[in-house]
């Protein structure tokens, strides 16, 4: 049997004691959700960002990474994980690289729906005591997250059925092969995902980070670059329909798959920190 790391993993605990003493309010934690490969490894490469930083990995990473209920089921499970690490609830920032942005959007929508139901129930019952920790997503950070429209077509043929690893198969498989399998399953799930419609609810303000470079000279060969020439990476129509929730666009060094390479770590750390501070300004 494997001994897995805590999920979500606390990557950094927050500002130093000296910084914390100067703050008049606690900084909202940033929770970064895994990419299509299922690991949260890239987020561990970041330097401290002066606020708590958590990383969520695919809870089924070592089983193949597939969820029968797709993106909504994954998101619901991860919201449940948040109630364990933040039992008091409160303000949070969500984000993630690639698929992590999609999952953040779905999680934020589910949290918003839960908040509306909780308020409605409390009003009808005359009580203000919530049944579960109440979160408020005050912002999101999409790290080169491409709008999923037509991604299934562009990614080429996918398997008709998912692969579920037995404990024996999982133990014999190296992590790289598990990541590849998780990536395939992520593509299958995104292809079936219906992007949430926020009827009567407000999408949290979002900062979209976009890689400066193309993966190859021919963008038609790589699905992550098929809308690279567009400023919002394909989110234009959805953004307009939902109150222009994308508040800022930040270019980051490298291409989609090199954002977290060593040479780019100082830059991406700085930009993640600045984005979090823009969405949740520190007060002194």
Structure token digits, residue 228: 């690279």
Q: What is the pLDDT of residue 8?
A: 97
Q: What is the CA radius of gyration of the chain?
A: 19
Q: Domain limits of the chain?
A: 9-279
Contact 226, 146 (CB under 8 A): yes
Query: What confidence tier does 19 reach under pLDDT thresholds 50, 70, 90?
Result: low
43-47, 116-120, 187-191, 221-225: range with highest mean pLDDT:
43-47
- CATH fold of 9-279: Rossmann fold (3.40.50)
Q: What is the rounded distance in angstroms from the CA atom of residue 196 to the CA atom of residue 13?
A: 32
Q: Using one digit for the tens of pLDDT, what is the confidence trace for 271-282?
A: 999 999 999 998
Please give the model's pTM, rounded to 2 decimal places.
0.91
Rounded average pLDDT over 98-118: 93
Contacts of 127 (CB under 8 A, 6+ apart): none
Q: Using one digit for the tens of pLDDT, what is the confidence trace for 218-236?
A: 766 678 888 888 999 999 9
Q: What percent of the chain has pLDDT over 90?
A: 74
Query: What confidence tier does 88 reach under pLDDT thresholds 50, 70, 90?
Result: very high
Q: What residues are paired with 96 via a beta bridge?
A: 33, 142
């Amino acid at each position: 049997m494997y001994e897995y790391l805590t999920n979500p993993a606390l990557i950094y605990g927050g500002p130093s004691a000296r910084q914390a003493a100067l703050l008049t309010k606690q900084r909202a934690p940033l929770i970064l959700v895994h990419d299509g490969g299922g690991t949260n490894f890239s987020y561990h490469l970041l330097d401290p960002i002066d606020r708590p930083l958590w990383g969520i990995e695919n809870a089924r990473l070592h089983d193949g990474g597939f969820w029968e209920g797709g993106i909504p089921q994954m998101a619901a499970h991860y919201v449940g994980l948040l109630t364990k690490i933040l039992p008091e609830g409160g303000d949070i920032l969500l984000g993630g690289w690639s698929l992590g942005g999609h999952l953040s959007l779905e999680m934020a929508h589910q949290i918003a729906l839960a908040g509306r139901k909780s308020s409605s129930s409390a009003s009808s019952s005359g009580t203000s005591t919530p049944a579960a920790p109440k979160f408020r997503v005050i912002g999101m950070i999409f790290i080169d997250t491409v709008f999923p429209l037509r991604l299934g077509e562009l990614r080429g043929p996918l398997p008709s059925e998912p692969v579920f690893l037995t404990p024996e198969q999982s133990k014999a498989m190296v992590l790289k092969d598990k990541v590849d399998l998780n990536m395939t399953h992520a593509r299958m799930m995104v292809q079936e995902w219906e992007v949430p419609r926020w009827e009567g609810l407000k999408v949290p303000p979002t900062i979209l980070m976009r890689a400066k470079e193309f993966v190859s000279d021919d963008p038609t060969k790589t699905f992550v670059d098929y809308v690279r020439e567009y400023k919002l990476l394909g989110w234009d129509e959805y953004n307009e329909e939902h109150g222009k929730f994308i508040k800022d666009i930040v270019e980051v060094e490298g291409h989609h798959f090199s954002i977290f390479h060593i040479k780019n770590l100082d830059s991406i750390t700085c930009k993640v920190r600045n984005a979090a501070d823009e969405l949740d300004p520190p007060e002194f």
